[in-house]
C-alpha cells in the first residue's frame, strides 16, 4: 500500500519526501489515505489522497468539477471575512500535469486535499457541544453555498434523496430476492411497508412549493465534520461529493440520524440504540443559530419529521443493499448492511416515541428566538 500511495502522491504538486501512508477506514464509499511528507526543514506535512468510488459516482469528473466549484466558492468567501485561511477550509491540491485530479492505470480518479490538523471526526457524538457545533457548521455550510449557481452543479447521483424511489427500489429487491436473503428480513421489510406513507412527505412539501430547493450538502453524517480535538469546535465540513440541489431538511435529518443515538451505526445490541433528546436539542439550536434566518416556517416545523424520514431512508438503503448482495456500501463482515439497517429502523421507532417532545421543543425554541 505504501508504494501505491507514494506513487499517487508523486503525481500531485505536494512538496517533501514521502514518509508514510495510512488508510482512513471511516466512510462507506470512497477509499481514503493520509500521507505524511517530510519537509526540508524537518517538519512533517500531511495530505489526504482519495479515490472516488466509480460504482457510486458514474461521472467522477463531474464530481470533481462540482468539488472545485464548491471549494473555490467557500474559500473566496471565507477569505473575504477572515483574511486568512489558516487550514480551516478544504482545498484541492493541483496535479503536476494540471487539473485537480489524476487517473490511475485502472481508471480510478484520485484527488488530493489538505489535511485538517488538530481535528477529529466522531462516529458517535460524545456531548451536546459537539452536536451543537456540528449542526451549526452544516447550517453555515448551507448559508455559504446558498449563492452558488445551482444550474452549474451537476446532480452527481440523480434522485439521491428521492425517498419514494428508494422505497420502490427496496420493493423491487424484495420481489427479486436475488441472494435468497428475504426470509431473514421479513420483519424489517414489514416495518418499512407500514411506514410507506412517510416516504412522500418531503417530496410532497417540495412539489407544493412549501419548501424550496437549495444547494445542500446531502451527506451530513456526523463524521463528515472535523471537530477541534481540544475545544470541540467544528472547524470544517468535509465530503463534498454530494453537494447538489436538495432540501435543507435532508441535511438536518441526516444529522439527527447520525448523531442522536449513542450506539454505532452497525451496533448489534439494539437496546443501545436510542434517541438522546439533549443531543437532538443541541442539533436544533446549532442549526437554527446558523440557518434560522434563511429557512422558512415549513422547514423549521418539519425538522423532527426530517430526522425520522432520513433515518428511514438510510435504513431502506442498507436493507436494499443487503438484499442485492452488498454491492453499494463497503462491508466488513457478513450481514453488515443488515446490522446497519436494524439500527436505523430501531432509531426510527425511538424518534416516533419522542416526536411530540421534539415538536414541542421546536416550537419553544422558535418562540424564544423571535
Using CB distances below 5 to 8 A depending on partner kind, what does residue 28 bind out of ligand GN1, Mg ion, none? ligand GN1
CB 37, min distance to ligand GN1, A: 26
Q: Binding ligand GN1 by CB under 6 A: which of 134, 153, 314, 347?
A: 314
229: left (phi over 0), alpha (psi -120 to 50) or beta: alpha
> Would you count residue 242 as binding ligand GN1 (CB under 6 A)?
yes
Using CB distances below 5 to 8 A depending on partner kind, what does residue 188 bind out of Mg ion, ligand GN1, none? none
> Would you count residue 221 as binding ligand GN1 (CB under 6 A)?
yes
Nearer to ligand GN1 among residue 71 and residue 218 (C-beta):
218
Piece in contact with ligand GN1 (CB under 6 A), picked from 3-11, 26-34, 142-150, 357-365: 26-34
CB 80, min distance to ligand GN1, A: 29
Give residue 305's Cα distance to chain centre. Answer: 18
As given in the structure block, the three cell numbers for residue 106 are 485502472
Q: How many CB atoms lie within 10 A of CB 190?
A: 10
Residue nearest to Mg ion (CB): 239
> Would you count residue 261 as binding ligand GN1 (CB under 6 A)?
no
Length of the chain: 370
Q: Binding ligand GN1 by CB under 6 A: which of 6, 20, 24, 29?
A: 29
> Would you count residue 135 as binding ligand GN1 (CB under 6 A)?
no
Nearer to Mg ion among residue 219 and residue 254 (C-beta):
219
At CA 338, angle to CA 336 and CA 339, rounded to 5?
Answer: 65
Instruction: List the beta bridge partners of residue 138.
Output: none
As given in the structure block, the three cell numbers for residue 291 are 440557518
Residues that bind Mg ion (CB under 5 A): 219, 239
**Alpha carbons 35 and 233: distance in angstroms, whole number:** 25
Nearer to Mg ion among residue 53 and residue 302 (C-beta):
53
Instruction: List the beta bridge partners of residue 109.
Output: 103
Closest CA to 350 of 301, 322, 315: 315
Dihedral angle sign, alpha carbons of residues 272, 278, 282, 285: positive
CB 219, min distance to ligand GN1, A: 5
**Alpha carbons 238 and 240: distance in angstroms, whole number:** 6
Q: Are 277 and 248 in contact (CB under 8 A)?
A: no
Q: Binding ligand GN1 by CB under 6 A: which of 232, 239, 267, 324?
A: 239
User: Which phi and psi (to 5°) does residue 171 adopt?
Assistant: -65, -30
Q: Which residue has the cell 435543507?
A: 248
> Would you count residue 219 as binding ligand GN1 (CB under 6 A)?
yes
> Would you count residue 344 as binding ligand GN1 (CB under 6 A)?
no
**Alpha carbons 267 and 53: distance in angstroms, whole number:** 25
> Would you count residue 154 as binding ligand GN1 (CB under 6 A)?
no
Query: Which residues, in sequence order, are CB contacts of 82 under 8 Å at separation 6+?
Result: 88
CB 179, min distance to Mg ion, A: 25
Closest CA to 279 of 225, 353, 222: 222
CB 155, min distance to ligand GN1, A: 13
> Would you count residue 133 as binding ligand GN1 (CB under 6 A)?
no
With residues binned 3-state (H G I as helix, E B as strand, rest as coil), the percentages for the chain, rounded to 5, are: 50, 15, 35
Piece in contact with ligand GN1 (CB under 6 A), picked from 15-23, 63-71, 73-81, 219-227: 219-227
> Would you count residue 27 as binding ligand GN1 (CB under 6 A)?
yes
Residue numbers of the site for ligand GN1 (CB under 6 A)? Answer: 27-29, 56, 219, 221, 224, 239, 242, 265, 314
Amino acid at each position: 500500500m505504501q508504494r501505491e500511495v507514494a506513487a499517487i502522491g508523486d503525481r500531485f504538486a505536494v512538496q517533501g519526501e514521502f514518509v508514510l501512508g495510512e488508510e482512513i477506514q471511516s466512510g462507506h464509499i470512497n477509499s481514503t489515505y493520509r500521507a505524511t511528507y517530510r519537509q526540508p526543514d524537518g517538519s512533517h506535512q500531511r495530505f489526504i489522497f482519495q479515490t472516488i468510488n466509480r460504482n457510486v459516482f458514474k461521472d467522477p469528473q463531474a464530481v470533481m468539477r462540482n468539488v472545485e466549484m464548491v471549494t473555490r466558492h467557500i474559500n473566496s468567501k471565507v477569505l473575504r471575512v477572515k483574511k486568512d485561511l489558516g487550514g480551516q477550509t478544504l482545498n484541492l491540491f493541483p496535479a503536476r500535469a494540471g487539473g485537480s485530479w489524476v487517473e490511475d492505470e485502472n481508471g480510478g480518479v484520485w484527488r488530493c486535499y489538505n489535511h485538517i490538523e488538530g481535528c477529529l471526526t466522531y462516529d458517535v457524538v460524545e456531548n451536546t457541544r459537539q452536536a451543537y457545533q456540528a449542526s451549526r457548521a452544516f447550517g453555515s455550510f448551507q448559508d455559504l453555498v446558498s449563492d452558488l449557481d445551482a444550474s452549474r452543479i451537476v446532480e452527481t447521483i440523480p434522485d439521491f434523496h428521492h425517498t419514494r424511489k428508494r422505497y420502490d427500489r427496496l420493493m423491487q429487491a424484495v420481489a427479486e430476492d436475488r441472494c435468497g436473503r428475504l426470509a431473514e428480513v421479513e420483519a424489517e421489510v414489514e416495518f418499512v411497508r407500514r411506514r410507506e406513507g412517510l416516504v412522500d412527505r418531503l417530496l410532497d412539501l417540495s412539489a407544493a412549493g412549501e419548501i424550496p430547493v437549495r444547494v445542500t450538502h446531502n451527506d451530513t453524517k456526523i463524521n463528515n465534520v472535523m471537530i477541534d480535538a481540544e475545544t470541540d469546535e467544528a472547524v470544517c465540513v468535509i465530503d463534498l461529493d454530494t453537494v447538489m440541489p436538495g432540501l435543507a431538511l435532508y441535511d438536518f435529518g441526516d444529522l439527527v440520524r447520525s448523531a442522536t443515538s449513542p450506539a454505532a451505526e452497525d451496533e448489534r445490541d439494539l437496546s443501545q440504540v436510542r434517541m438522546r433528546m439533549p443531543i437532538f436539542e443541541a442539533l436544533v439550536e446549532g442549526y437554527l443559530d446558523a440557518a434560522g434566518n434563511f429557512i422558512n416556517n415549513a422547514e423549521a416545523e418539519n425538522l423532527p419529521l426530517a430526522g425520522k424520514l432520513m433515518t428511514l431512508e438510510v435504513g431502506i438503503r442498507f436493507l436494499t443493499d443487503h438484499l442485492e448482495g452488498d454491492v453499494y456500501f463497503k462491508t466488513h463482515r457478513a450481514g453488515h448492511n443488515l446490522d446497519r439497517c436494524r439500527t436505523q429502523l430501531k432509531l426510527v421507532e425511538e424518534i416516533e416515541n419522542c416526536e411530540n417532545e421534539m415538536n414541542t421543543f421546536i416550537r419553544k425554541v422558535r418562540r424564544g428566538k423571535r
